[in-house]
Every structure is written in C-alpha cells, then in structure tokens.
Chain A
C-alpha cells in the first residue's frame, strides 16, 4: 500500500515536470526576460507610491563631483598612481622601524636567551638546534619581516576600499585589462598582491566572472610581494649599485627594483592574455562593475577588521608553513651523509643546472626549502654560502642569519662566487618563480581545483627558468 502510494506520487511529480516542459516550450525562449520585467514593473509601481525624492533624481552632488575628478582624462591616472605610490612608500618606510624593533627582540634578544636557557637545562644540542635554530628562527624571521608591512599596507588599502575609491580604479583601468582578456578589478587584486599574494588571491572574490577571476588568481604572483621587496632591494644595492659611480648607486638600485616590479606587470599582462586565449577561453566571461556611492570610512573599525581579516589570517598561514621550513633548513644542514651535509650534496648536484640559468646551487636550494616564505631566502642563502665555502663568519650550520652591513653581506656573496649576472638573475628569479606555499594553499582553497593550482604554481616557475636561462646564455656569449 505504501509502495503504491509512493509510485503514484512519483508519477504525479513526473506529470508536473512533464507539464512544465510542455508549457515552457509553448511560452518560448524569453521567459526569463518577461519575469524580470514583471518584477521590475511591480517594483517601480511600489516605489512610485512610497518614495518621495523631493524632485531630485540621480546621484548625490558631492559624489558626482568626486567622480568627475577621479575618473577624468586629466586627473584619473595621476591620482591613482599617486595614491598607490604613497601607500607603498608609507608601507616600506613605515615598516622599517617596527621591523628592526621586532628583529632585535625576536632574533637578537629572545633567540640567544632561548639558546642559553636550553643549554642551562641541559637540552641536547640537536634538540635545541632543531627547535630553536630551526623552527623558532624561521618563525621569528617571517613575523619580523612580514607583520609590520602587512599591518600598515592592508589597513590603508581597506580604508580606500571602504571609502569606495577602489571600484573607480577598476573603472579607469578596465580598458587596459580588457585588452589582456582580464577584468578591471584585477588592477586591485594586483595592487593587493604587492602587499601579499595570498591576500591578493583572496581579494579576487570581487571579480564575479569565472574566467577573469581565474586569470587574476593565476597571475597574482607576478606582483612583487612584501616578502620579496627586501631581497630585491638588498641585492640591487650590493650589485647594481656597485657598477655606477658611488653618488648614483642609491638611485640605480631603486630604479633596478622598480624595473623588476614593472617587468612583473608586463608578465602579468602577457600571461593574462595568453591564458585567456588558450586554457581559459572556455570559461564563462561576463562584465559589470557597480560604482557604489562614497561613504566616509569608519577609521577604527576598519583598522580592527582589516587587521583581523587580512593581516592575522595571512600571518597565521605563513607561520604554519614557515615552522616546518625552519626545521628542514636546520636538518639538511646538520644531517651528514658521508663527509658532508645533505645541503652540501643538494647544492653540489644543483650547481650545474644553476650555472645554466645564471644562478648557483645555493640559491636553488634556498628557493626549494624557502617555498613556505620568501622572507627567509636571503638568510638561508647566507647560511648555506658560509656552510659550503667553509669561510669564517655566520652563526653555525642550519642557523640563518643576516648582517647589518650591506657591504659585509656583499663580501660573503662574492666569496660564494656571485657576479652581477647572479644578482640580476636572482632578482628575475625572485620575481618569476612559484608562489610561496601560503599562496599555493590559498589558490587551492579559492579555486578548489588541483589543475588551476598546478598552472598557477608551475607557469611562473617555467617562465623564470626560461628568462634566467636566456639572460645567462646571452650574458655568457658576450663575456
């Protein structure tokens, strides 16, 4: 009996569905349009009866005034670049002080204290080395380098966002991005990437067109992030600054770094175009961009939420990934196979390939173990260089370090066989390589696709190999 009822019910349901198919066929293809029109017809009737606009239609006069300036032919672009420039400047300059304060606290005070503490309680050297020199040091480094700039950059960006200016930037730049098959809002996710690529990837949620969102996610890595700026600046000051007269060395270094950042944008546009024409051409692409009214941002609230939402979450993920990296760095430098450490063997086997692309084994090993965080590339490079050259200095096997003096750092690197080519190619490779693991993980979270995560990871790496290879080979040919 129950079964009978059930199958009768099924029949009835199929009947209803069948009838709906039949009726749909009769009504023709414009059903959706008619429904939307009906709803809006009701809506405008209701509004007619209940809303009084006091004879004033259209937008707020102040909003219109602001919009006329920030989207004008004359002022639109200068205002945009000025704002981005000021934000980056405040971030880089402003982060210096808290960064060195944190470094002093975490690296120069707490680290030795922990070490001596460990000694006094008789902790075995390998345990204190693993935990304190490996795990703790990597964590401390990431926090010291990463936290201050992010804590400055993101709130500033969020203030602009809350005010309503960012959609105007997308509006101004959309034409350029459209040429590359991308969405104007990618200008914003790209700028966010200058702060942190993982945050930039999360920010692509504002792009509601699937194809353009994937493009923005995959190409975000071409924005030079906070973790890579210091590397660029350091290497440029040591090597690029040295080839020009001393008075100009500062300027030359700055231009070299800016040049790399601009090169990143060029790669971003080129690969956006390539992706939209090849692997992504089947993805749905739509466009619409709402320009919301301006709203005075609420300063403290914004500060709080942007710290919680962006900075701390990203920092947390970085910490989760940096800790094991620190452990690995310590382990490979201290575990011996035969006469040498694992690190030595790795470096030795990668030297040949490193030469081919104008780098060396040390740099490649540093990039392999520093996938979790670009911040620890330079300390790792210095540690490994000292380790393989056997020179004096450094802090011991597996203990990352950095020197206060730029010249002294340069001396170590030159002793490790670095030339101007190594420096240039390191700068290029720092721009063009796989995203850090935090970003890779974020890309996976956002796309939920192994395929797109793999593309986003391997594409820049392949580009990095090709570019550094070409530069190196051409360099070798003329020298």
Chain B
C-alpha cells in the first residue's frame, strides 16, 4: 500500500479519533480555536478547506481562485475550530491586496494555529511563503499536499527531516482523495492545545549588514514590547518601510498580545 508509508510519518501522534470529528460547514460561531489556512495559489488549499469543513468552495486548477476570505468550521474532540481560508499568495512581502489580507490576518488576527498548505512537488518555491510565515508565527503546521502528484513525478520528501528543519509538524496529505486529513486535524488540535510546541525556523542567510540593522532594531522593539514574539520580522518590515506595520506600532496594536 503506497499510502501506508505516508500516514506513518506522524509516528508520535496519538490515534486519530474518527468519532470526535464533526464538520460544521459555515456555522462558525462560538469556536474555541481559530485556524488560518495559508498557502501558495494552486496548491489545493481550497480542497483542504473543503475536506475539513465539508463545504464545497469551487477549487480551480488555476492560480488565484480564492480572492475573498472564506470561513468554515469543524468540531473535533469537543472543541470547535473556526477555519479561515486566506487568499493564496506567493509571499507576504509585496503590496498586492491578497497578500495584505493574508498578512494582516496572520499578524493581527492572531490565529491559534496557521496551517500552511504546500505543493510537495514544488517545495522550494512554496518554502518562500512558509519561511515568511514562520517569522511571524511559531504556531504552525505544514500540510504537505499533493503527495500523489509528487509521487507520480518521483519527488520524495523526507518529512521528518523537513519537520526537524522547519521546527513545526509536517503532515503529508492528498486532500483531493481525502488522504491525510484525519492526521492533519489531529496535529492541528495538538498544536492548538499546546501539546506540541514548535520551534520555528528563522531565516539564516541574511547579508551581514542587513542582519546587523535588523538586530539593532529588533532589540529596541523587544525592549519596548517584551511580549512580541516576532520582533525580528517587524524589524524586517520596518526596514522595508511597510506603512501598515508602522501604523500598527503607532496604534499600539502589538501590545495586546
């Protein structure tokens, strides 16, 4: 069985409890946790969303399908999870509207867990977004989607090494065929409940002069806002002249952590 190997990647996880799952569709009131769904366009993000919530959003093989933010919910082991499907983006650094929506939600919406959906066959390009998100939030799960396609193209991903390198749990899935979704639900619940603590990767290959500047700035930010988990990323954004972040600093949006 080709899928046996994939599912066993999550060895440490307790068994998924199929009776604990209830798909709640759009009924997203009074939830215990907020889960953000981020990812590049065309990685099957919407398919994952549909698989989790039981909704049927249209998912096209066409980059940039989901333009607005979609919301849905599911229940697992007596906890309710609200799922927010963010627009598919290649990055969070640019100024396009989609990226603004995705970035603002991850930064200011403070989701309990961010699930990052990536195309297993095109990992390198997808990591661009993953590494940026990990600079913002540590509470993340990597959903290694389109495993079936990757397999067909002879791409093999060492999930354990990847999880270790990124410092977050990695769950292989083929959302189109509903494979790996139970494992994903379980891992998300563990991160949300604090049973798994992540140690997110931080970008290392930064040129020396930039690194110095970032460090200088980030220390100042930390001194002012000791509770900010992502002072380094804010420093990056300030150096880029990101107006929204400047505004957030001025309004004290970062103090309410």
Which A residues form the contact surface with B (CB < 8 A)? 9-10, 12-13, 15-17, 19-21, 23-24, 26-27, 31-32, 34-47, 49-54, 56, 59-60, 158, 161-164, 166-167, 205-206, 208, 290, 292-295, 297-298, 301, 304-306, 308-310
Contacts and interface: CB of A to CB of B under 8 A. Distances in A.
Given A20-B217, A40-B128, A50-B157, A27 B61 contact: no
Contacts of A15: 220
A298 B176 contact: yes
Contacts of B69: none
Contacts of B220: 15-16, 19
A162 B224 contact: no
Interface of B: 41-42, 56-65, 67, 91, 93, 96, 121, 123-125, 127-128, 131-132, 149, 152-158, 161-162, 165-166, 176, 201, 203-207, 209-210, 213, 216-217, 220-221, 224, 235-236, 238-241, 246, 249-250, 252
B62 A46 contact: no
A74 to B, nearest CB: 25
A16 B156 contact: no
Closest A-B pairs by Cβ, 7 of them: A20-B238, A43-B127, A41-B205, A309-B58, A54-B154, A305-B58, A23-B213
19 contacts: A19-B216, A34-B207, A35-B206, A42-B127, A43-B127, A45-B205, A46-B201, A47-B123, A47-B124, A50-B158, A50-B162, A54-B154, A158-B58, A162-B61, A206-B64, A295-B61, A305-B57, A305-B58, A309-B57
B61 A36 contact: no
B62 A292 contact: yes
A312 to B, nearest CB: 12
Given A27-B213, A306-B58, A47 B149 contact: no
Given A54-B156, A161-B62, A206-B64, 14 more contacts: A10-B250, A12-B224, A23-B239, A24-B241, A36-B93, A38-B207, A38-B210, A39-B205, A50-B161, A51-B155, A54-B155, A158-B60, A293-B149, A305-B56
Given A23-B213, A23-B216, A42-B127, A56 B60 contact: no
A42 B205 contact: yes
A44 B60 CA distance: 28
B230 to A, nearest CB: 15
Contacts of B157: 50-52
A163 B153 CA distance: 17
A295 B246 CA distance: 43
Contacts of B41: 290
B123 to A, nearest CB: 5
Contacts of A9: 224, 252
Contact of B249 (A16, A208, A305, A306): A16
A154 B200 CA distance: 44
Given A53-B155, A306-B58, A13 B240 contact: no
B203 A13 contact: no
Given A17-B238, A39-B203, A51-B156, A208 B127 contact: no
A46 B162 contact: yes
A166 B246 contact: no
B62 A166 contact: yes
A49 B161 contact: yes
Given A31-B240, A36-B93, A304-B56, A52 B205 contact: no
A17 B246 contact: yes
A372 B232 CA distance: 54
Contacts of A205: 64, 67
Contacts of B236: 35
Nearest to B209: A27
A337 to B, nearest CB: 47
A166 B176 CA distance: 20
Given A17-B249, A35-B93, A292 B61 contact: yes
Contacts of A208: 64, 96
A32 B204 CA distance: 16
B239 to A, nearest CB: 5
A11 B58 CA distance: 49
Contacts of A51: 123-124, 155-158
A39 B155 contact: no
Most-contacted residue by chain B among A50, A305, A308 (CB, 10 A): A50
B128 A13 contact: no
Given A17-B238, A19-B217, A295 B131 contact: no
Nearest to B56: A305
Which of A16, A208, A298 has the largest number of chain B CB atoms within 10 A? A16
B145 to A, nearest CB: 12
Give the interface centre of B67, B153, B238 by most chain A CB atoms within 10 Å: B153
A174 B184 CA distance: 40
Contacts of B176: 298
B250 to A, nearest CB: 6
A292 B63 contact: yes
A310 B41 CA distance: 20
A166 B61 CA distance: 9
Nearest to A298: B176
A163 B161 contact: no
Contact of A49 (B67, B121, B156, B165): B165
Contacts of A46: 127, 162, 165-166, 201
B69 to A, nearest CB: 14
B131 to A, nearest CB: 5
A205 B97 CA distance: 12
A38 B205 contact: yes
B124 to A, nearest CB: 4
B29 to A, nearest CB: 23
Given A9-B224, A208-B96, A305-B56, A39 B217 contact: no
Contact of A32 (B93, B158, B249, B252): B93
Contacts of A305: 56-59
A161 B62 CA distance: 7
Contacts of A41: 205
A161 B161 CA distance: 35
Contacts of B132: 39
Contacts of A52: 155-158
B105 to A, nearest CB: 19
Contacts of B204: 38, 42
